[in-house]
Amino acid sequence: METLKIEMIHDVVCSWCPIGYSHMRKALQRLNIEADFHFLPYELNPDMSVRGEPIDRFFERRYQWGQSKLLDYQENLVAVAAAADVNIDFSKRSHYYNSAKAHQLMHWAEGYDRQQALNELLIDAYFKRGLDISNPLILLDLVEQLGLDSSKAIQVLYSSAVDEQLLLKKQRVQQLALPSIPAFIINESTLISGSKSLSYFEQVLVSMQE
């Protein structure tokens, strides 16, 4: 069976992205389908400050949510995530952070075929442990866990220059005018927008094999 190319459009701080990623992976495993994952950047909050912003303040500022509504949302999100085997711990994950450097690192890791592994480390670092994934030192620790050259990663993270190929990825995503993320492009032809359910992904994948 031909290996599918799956491009996932995501943000490192997007709560529903690891859920969609888990559902897609489970669907592939159930159907015994091989897939080659690639990741395309989408920054939900490109203007986020270096210090980040507390999640409760973010929802109050942007959506006028009170504490009760936010807690109800988070409780539901944690339950959906747990059903997808994703750990979101709001006792540790207190802030939204700027994700630009994490996306730079994800782009760099693709050259070593380590994007998928880095994505999973970022999910664990941010959603489970609440780490500041805008901090270059934390990102360099993930690089070392992957066994990649940290000296080269330093050049990527501390350089003011933006890789031309990364810019092309961002432009490509912008042209799609997506209603939501995560989104998945399968074999450069089929677009799925949203985290969707495990059964939904299975149905799409089965239809593509017919």
Q: What's the pLDDT tens digit per position in 133-144?
A: 999 999 999 999
Q: What are the pLDDT digits (tens) for 54-106?
A: 999 999 999 999 999 999 999 999 999 999 999 999 999 999 999 999 999 99
- Specify if 61 maps to a domain: no
Distance in angstroms (rounded) separating the CA atoms of residues 139 and 99: 11
In this structure, what CATH number is given to the domain that contains residue 117? 3.40.30.10
- Specify if 148 maps to a domain: yes
| Interior angle at CA 134, CA 47 and CA 180, nearest 5 | 55
pLDDT at 50: 86
Domain of 147 in residue numbering reads as 4-51+98-209
Q: How many CA atoms lie within 13 A of 67 on its CB side?
A: 0
pLDDT at 156: 93
pLDDT over 90, % of the chain: 93
The stretch 189-201 carries a mean pLDDT of: 95
Q: pTM, whole model, 2 decimals?
A: 0.95
The model's confidence at residue 1, banded by pLDDT at 50, 70 and 90, is low
Residue 184 host element (H or E): strand 183-186
Q: Please check whether residue 183 is in contact with residue 6, taking contact to mean a CB–CB distance below 8 angstroms.
A: no
Q: Give the total number of structural domains in the chain.
A: 1
pLDDT over 80 at 161, yes or no? no
- Specify if 75 maps to a domain: no
- Specify if 166 maps to a domain: yes
- Specify if 64 maps to a domain: no
Expressed in percent and rounded to 5, the helix, strand and coil fractions of the chain are 50, 10, 35
- Specify if 67 maps to a domain: no
The model's confidence at residue 111, banded by pLDDT at 50, 70 and 90, is very high
- Specify if 86 maps to a domain: no
DSSP code at position 126: I
- Specify if 28 maps to a domain: yes
